[in-house]
Amino acid sequence: MDFSLTSDQQNIRDAVLKHCARFPDEFWLERDREGVFPHEFFQSMVEAGWLGIAMPTEFGGSGLGITEAAVMMQAIAESGAGMGGASSIHLPVFGLQPVVLVGTEEQKQRMLPPVVHGEDKVCFAVTEPNVGLNTTELKTRAERRDGGYLVNGEKIWISTAQVANKMLLLARTTPLDQVKRKTDGLSLFYTDLDRSKIEVRLIHKMGRHAVDSNMLFIQELWIPEADRIGPEGEGFKLILHGLNPERILVAAEAIGIGRAAVKRAAKYARERIVFNRPIGMNQGIAHPLAKCWAQLEAANLMVMKAATLFDKGQECGVEANAGKYLAGEFGFEACHTAMLTLGGMGYAQEYHVERYLRESLIPRTAPVSPHMILNFLAEKVLELPKSY
């Protein structure tokens, strides 16, 4: 049992933090104010080879695991980039695992290298209005035609669709009332985001303005059969392969942003003098920050345990969900505590913790809410009746 990073993992962490130092908090504040995608940061990560960290070497990647990817994504968030930085490269790091797992050799050669090299930007079009986490109820239809499929439907909360030229799309190819199991009849596609057939409508939101969220309105979109990933009707099984890695990476990012907030708050508490003494001498300031540090480190152990299990090919659903729950809750508490530490200045944009706080709500809420995780843990760990 070893709780420390390997030398290679530590080198990844150090290298990413050094790389991200080129993009200080002021850069991310400006991107957040402008609502502009961080193209400079994205391209720099492409040129440094980081987008392919978990991709096979034969397609231009580094061939490393989700553990190393988590170390990288955590360092990005911890650098002050927060979710704005992490989300800009989040999907390329893990999202094309279905192609890696079941794609044909032709598909892998055609689809993977352009993502690793930053030539293609990808969005993940799964969630829909009025469906939420009940994925089997997806309404978007992909109707079989000669040589491919004709797709109609709506998607919501699709990140990076404003800048993406490709998308992973989950759609129903067999009506729900014609399948034996609700999970059957959904198919996965990796295809062009054809803006002549897809209206991309921006959702104005509380935080992470640099990385867009959108609704997609799809009308008569043609997808050739060559863009279907895996067998028809087995798309739900394929996206399950990505659920645990996604939870692990989002959790790592939550811990990173929490660490950034605690670090900035502790620095302020050392320097801010009130009543002729630094406010960090007051236990009312010191204890909450110390508590947040301990919580974040405990959450990190669970997240890294989940990542390690995943990379060993072992079951990690409980650990991945527990890690995401702990990281989401404690990352938020750390950012909130940091804001309170700075007092009025914590509410001012120039001190950055208000941005951290807004962005910490993303990993707390997505891709699965804390309440649904508790439902899952109650059922799987405590063997209580399923509540949904």
Buried b (16+ CB within 10 A) or exposed e, 248-273: bbbbbbbbbbbbbbbbbbbebbeebe
Average model confidence (pLDDT) for the chain? 96
Q: What whole-number distance in Å separates Cα of residue 74 and Cα of residue 83?
A: 10
- Helices 353-365 and 82-94: crossing angle, nearest 10°? 40
Domains and CATH numbers, the chain: 7-116 (1.10.540.10), 122-234 (2.40.110.10), 237-380 (1.20.140.10)
Identify whether the C-beta of residue 224 lies closer than 8 Å to the C-beta of residue 106. no
| pLDDT tens digits along 266-282 | 999 999 999 999 999 99
Model confidence pLDDT, tens digit, residues 131-171: 888 899 999 999 999 999 999 999 999 999 999 999 999 99
CB of 359 closer than 8 Å to CB of 257:
yes
Residue 242 pLDDT: 87
Which one, of 25, 211, 33, lies nearest residue 124 by Cα?
Answer: 211
- CA 11 – CA 6 distance, rounded (Å): 8
pLDDT of residue 220: 98
Q: Which helix (H) or strand (E) holds 249?
A: helix 235-271
C-alpha 48/C-alpha 88 separation (Å) is 15
End-to-end CA distance of the chain: 36
**Diameter of the chain measured on Cα atoms:** 79
What was the pLDDT predicted at 168? Answer: 97
Alpha helices in 35-96 (DSSP H): 39-47, 66-76, 82-94
Give Cβ neighbours of residue 339 (< 8 Å, ≥ 6 apart): 261, 346, 347, 353, 354, 357
Give pLDDT < 70 ranges for the chain: none
Q: Which residues, listed in sequence order, are joined to residue 145 by a DSSP beta bridge?
A: 148
Q: Is the backbone peptide bond immediately before 385 cis, with ω within 30 degrees of 0?
A: no
Q: Which two tokens stand for residue 375?
A: 């439902």
Pairing of strands 122-125, 166-172: parallel
Say how many CA atoms lie within 13 Å of 163 toward its Cβ.
19
Residue 175 CA from chain centroid, whole number: 30
- Under 8 Å CB-to-CB from 43, ≥6 apart: which residues? 118
Please say whether the beta carbons of 191 and 149 come within 8 A. Answer: no
pLDDT at 132: 82
Residues 6+ apart with CB under 8 A from 348: 354
* Pairwise CA distance, residues 61 & 55, whole Å: 4
The 3-state DSSP class for residue 205 equals coil
* Model pLDDT, residue 164: 98
Distance CA 80, CA 355 (A): 10
Q: Residue 7: exposed, middle, or buried by beta-carbon count in 10 A (0-12, 13-18, 19+)?
A: exposed
Q: Peptide bond before 224: cis, by omega within 30 degrees of 0? A: no
